[in-house]
Amino acid sequence: MSNDWQFPIDREIKLYNRMDELHRLNEGLEVVGSEAGWPERAVLDLSLACEELVVNIVNYGFPSGGEHPIHVLIQASPNSVEVMIEDGGIPFNPLQEADPLALLDLELEDRPIGGLGIFFVKRLMDDIHYEYAEGLNRFRMRKQFGAADKNDQQLAGGHGR
Amino acid sequence: MNIQATEKNGVTIIPLEGRLDGSNATVAEQAFLQLLAEGKQQFIFDLSGLQYISSAGLRVILVAAKKLRASKGRMVCASLTEQVYDVFEMSGFTTILEMAATREEALEKISASA
């Protein structure tokens, strides 16, 4: 992980495994974003990546039910962010799922509902890492803002409607 | 999300505002299904006020599109903001869904082929 001087903001958002916690997740990210001076779009992209991972944990992490914490740790600088998401649910490596590239070209009738969340995380973040240790799923991801996006298609896509 | 659908020229307009995410996608889906159950078959999703959509929100759009395709209904997504457009594009939705730059253009599209 990184040195403190690179990330002046160090924040923890503690959530529970419920969908309504997405409000607090988003509020927390907006606060960090405004303190760090991120562009609005960077906050939305990070919000999407975090939501998809947290929703996965809420939906599949605790099949026997009950209330369980999900820790979201954010280290932020004006032009970069590192997020670590930890949960004590069943071991699940979201990166093992194959990208749904073949599905993207299917006709409406044949498109399955769902399966896009982790694909979004991979597309939006620069660097992602999963490990299971000491009974915890630990997902880490990193994003550099400002510089040219590795995702050329996103930039070229724009609003060409 | 508080959804207030309106009707114009027989087309049901559903404005979605703020964020469509895992915490409110079910509410939006129920609102659509209720209108469908009332017999509505032509829809415009007005997304001009929608700042953010996640995969849970996309699910609502896809469910609506599939139901209307099956019932020979119609839907157009209008006025996508930047993040919503990019998420649609990442998902391949821009090629399988009908889209319009404005609500008026969406209305014209539907009435032209009615």
In this predicted model, what pLDDT tens digit does every residue of A104-154 receive, in sequence order?
889 999 988 888 999 999 999 999 999 999 999 999 999 998 754 444 444
Tell me whether residue B1 is in a domain.
Answer: no
Inspect the interface and report whether the beta carbons of A119 and B90 lie closer than 8 Å. Answer: yes
A77-113 b/e (C-beta count within 10 Å ≥ 16 → b): beebbbbbbbbbbeebebeeeeebeeebeeeeeebee
Going along chain A from its start, the domains and CATH numbers come out as 4-157 (3.30.565.10)
* pLDDT, position A156: 42
What is the pLDDT confidence band of residue B62, given thresholds at 50, 70 and 90?
very high
Percent of chain B's residues with pLDDT above 70? 99
Q: CA-to-CA distance for A80 and A38, rounded, in angstroms?
A: 9
Cβ contacts (< 8 Å) between A19 and chain B: which residues? 22-23
Q: CA-to-CA distance for A50 and B29, rounded, in angstroms?
A: 22
* pLDDT, position A5: 58
Tell me whether residue B36 is in a domain.
Answer: yes
Q: CA-to-CA distance for A103 and A155, rounded, in angstroms?
A: 22
* pLDDT, position B2: 86
DSSP secondary structure of A11-32: EEEEEESSGGGHHHHHHHHHHH
Over range B12-40, report the average pLDDT. Answer: 97
Nearest CB to A117 within list B55, B66, B97: B55
Q: Which of A3-7, A49-53, B59-63 has the lowest mean pLDDT?
A: A3-7
Phi/psi zone of residue B79: left (φ > 0), alpha (ψ -120 to 50 degrees), beta? left
- A-B interface: how many C-beta pairs under 8 angstroms? 85
What does the block give as tokens for A146? 């400002």
* pLDDT, position A148: 47
How many other C-beta atoms can be found within 10 angstroms of the C-beta atom of residue B5?
A: 17
What is the pLDDT confidence band of residue A160, given thresholds at 50, 70 and 90?
very low
H-helix or E-strand containing B46? strand B42-53
Residues from B contacting A (CB-CB < 8 Å) are 19, 21-23, 51-52, 54-56, 58-59, 62-63, 65-66, 69, 80, 82-83, 85-87, 89-92, 95-97, 99, 101
Over range B68-75, report the average pLDDT. Answer: 97
Task: Tally the domains of chain B.
Answer: 1
Percent of chain B's residues with pLDDT above 90? 96
The enclosing domain of B78 has a CATH number of 3.30.750.24
Which chain A residue is nearest to residue B54, measuring alpha carbons?
A48
Tell me the pLDDT tens digit for each residue of A63-94. 999 999 999 999 999 999 999 999 999 999 98
**Taking all residues of chain A, what is their mean pLDDT, rounded to a whole number?**
88
Tell me whether residue B54 is in a domain.
Answer: yes
Over range B6-31, report the average pLDDT. Answer: 97
Range of the domain at B70: 6-112
